[in-house]
């Protein structure tokens, strides 16, 4: 790490507390002048660092810039994670897929403050403005999964996000099949899973899972086309938790679940948070007129089992569904 990175990591570990330049220089083995230069550079980059005479430096609790050092402070996973944080990218999934092609076997996590071309299902975009969300992608080795049905990785991601929200805020998010996390009836998180295959064997070599979480309301609000259904984790413009902590929580939980759960555990945790079972839903498969069914179950492949109005049982793979109001 650079001197600036080391200083930021030290301040993150002591967030909200004042630490003297003398202590920082002693702990890091650098000069006080080097500390002063690093702090000034961090301030220029937007980090909220207070300098108090005779007290030292303090990273304010309200600072919410995403950083490698900030996320690492909360990481608990045993894996050697290659973590990268960017201010702006076209798409974290696109970057992750490029990385996976020449992958070394190390778990890679790419996090961004904003995306200019965030990816959603069916070629849609995922609105990813700066300063209000967490946009991350994880590259995983499917050979290390305990579960057999690889399509369940989307369910693992959805449950992992829901668990972190439950544990850190006390809220009770719900999951809408197949890849949305809802809070108070509004979508706060979307998940996009993509595969990187081996050209010679055609087998799945790597799995890239993208997670986009709306933490607070964007400065300019949501676009008109999603205004009625988009929501945020926190109702006010200020997050009650640092985004670094939330991002780390999602990474910790997602990696732990991905490498320890079996098929039955995944489906059970997924169904537990899916209130639409037993209810009427409208299915749109984009090849015919939308039709009304009753959601009955989620099978071991993560598919939605439904019953038509005529009593026929059907299994849905990735059709678009909406709950009948």
pLDDT in tens, 12-22: 999 999 999 99
The structural domains of the chain, with segments of one domain joined by +, span 3-59, 68-272, 280-323
Report which of residues 255 and 289 the model is more confident about.
255
- Between CA 206 and CA 257, with CA 177 as vertex, the angle to 5 degrees is 45
Percentage, residues of the chain above pLDDT 90: 78
The DSSP-derived string for 26-54 is HHHT--HHHHHHHHHHHHHTT--EEEETT
Retrieve residue 88's tokens: 């702006």
Which residues, 6 or more positions from 203, have their beta carbon under 8 angstroms from its beta carbon? 197
> Which is more confidently placed, 78 or 316?
316
pTM of the model: 0.92
**pLDDT greater than 70 at residue 278:** yes
- Identify the H or E element spanning 79: none
Class of domain 280-323: mainly beta
pLDDT band of residue 54 (cuts 50, 70, 90) is confident
Annotated binding site for biotin: 91-93, 115, 187
pLDDT at 256 over 90: yes
236 against 171, higher pLDDT = 171
pLDDT surpasses 80 at 166: yes
Specify the range with the lowest mean pLDDT, choosing from 33-47, 90-104, 133-147: 90-104
pLDDT of residue 114: 98
Res. 81: pLDDT tops 60: yes
If one compares 129 and 122, the residue with the highest pLDDT of the two is 129
Which is nearest to 179 in space by CA: 144, 210, 142? 210
Please tell me which residue, 239 or 154, carries the higher pLDDT value.
154
Mean pLDDT confidence for 5-29 = 95
**Residues marked as binding?**
91-93, 115, 187
* Cβ–Cβ < 8 Å for 185, 176: no
- The pLDDT assigned to 92 comes to 97
Per-residue model confidence (pLDDT) at position 202: 64
Those residues whose C-beta lies under 8 Å from the C-beta of residue 102, and which sit 6 or more positions away, are none
- Residue 319 pLDDT > 90: no
The set of residues, in sequence order, having a beta carbon less than 8 Å from that of 149 and lying 6+ positions away, is: 263, 300, 301, 302
Going by pLDDT thresholds of 50, 70 and 90, the confidence category of residue 318 is: confident
Task: Using pLDDT thresholds of 50, 70 and 90, give the confidence band for residue 100.
Answer: confident
Q: pLDDT tens, 229-252?
A: 999 999 866 667 899 999 999 999
The yes or no reply on domain 68-272 and CATH 2.120.10.30 is no
Class of domain 3-59: mainly alpha
Would you state the pLDDT for residue 325?
A: 40
Which of 95-104, 167-176, 311-320 has the weakest average pLDDT?
A: 95-104
Beta strands in the chain (DSSP E): 49-52, 56-59, 81-86, 107-112, 133-140, 174-176, 180-183, 186-197, 204-214, 280-284, 291-298, 304-308, 313-316, 320-323
For residue 287, the surrounding DSSP H or E stretch is none
> Does the pLDDT of residue 324 top 60, yes or no?
no
């Amino acid at each position: 790490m650079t001197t600036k990175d080391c200083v930021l990591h030290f301040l993150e570990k002591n967030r909200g507390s004042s630490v003297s330049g003398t202590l920082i220089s002693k702990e890091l083995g650098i000069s006080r002048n080097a500390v002063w230069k690093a702090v000034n550079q961090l301030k220029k980059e937007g980090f909220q660092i207070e300098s108090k005479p005779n007290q030292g430096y303090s990273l304010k609790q309200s600072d919410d810039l995403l950083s490698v050092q900030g996320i690492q402070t909360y990481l608990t996973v045993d894996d050697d994670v290659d973590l990268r944080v960017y201010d702006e990218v076209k798409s974290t999934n696109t970057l992750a897929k490029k990385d996976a092609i020449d992958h070394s076997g190390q778990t890679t996590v790419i996090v961004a403050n904003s995306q200019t071309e965030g990816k959603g299902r069916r070629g849609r975009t995922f609105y990813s403005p700066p300063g209000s969300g967490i946009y991350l992608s994880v590259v995983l080795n499917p050979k290390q999964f305990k579960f057999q049905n690889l399509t369940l990785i989307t369910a693992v991601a959805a449950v992992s996000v829901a668990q972190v929200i439950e544990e850190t805020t006390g809220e009770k998010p719900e999951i809408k099949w197949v890849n949305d996390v809802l809070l108070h009836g509004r979508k706060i998180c979307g998940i996009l899973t993509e595969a990187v295959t081996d050209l010679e064997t055609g087998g799945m070599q790597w799995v890239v899972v993208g997670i986009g979480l709306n933490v607070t309301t964007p400065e300019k609000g949501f676009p008109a086309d999603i205004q009625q259904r988009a929501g945020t984790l926190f109702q006010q413009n200020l997050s009650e938790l640092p985004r670094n902590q939330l991002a780390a929580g999602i990474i910790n939980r997602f990696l732990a679940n991905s490498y320890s759960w079996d098929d039955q555990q995944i489906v059970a945790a997924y169904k537990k948070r899916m209130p639409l079972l037993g209810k009427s839903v409208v299915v749109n498969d984009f090849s015919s007129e939308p039709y009304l069914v009753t959601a009955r179950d989620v099978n071991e492949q993560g598919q939605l089992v439904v019953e038509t109005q005529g009593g026929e049982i059907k299994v849905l793979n990735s059709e678009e569904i909406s709950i009948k109001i």
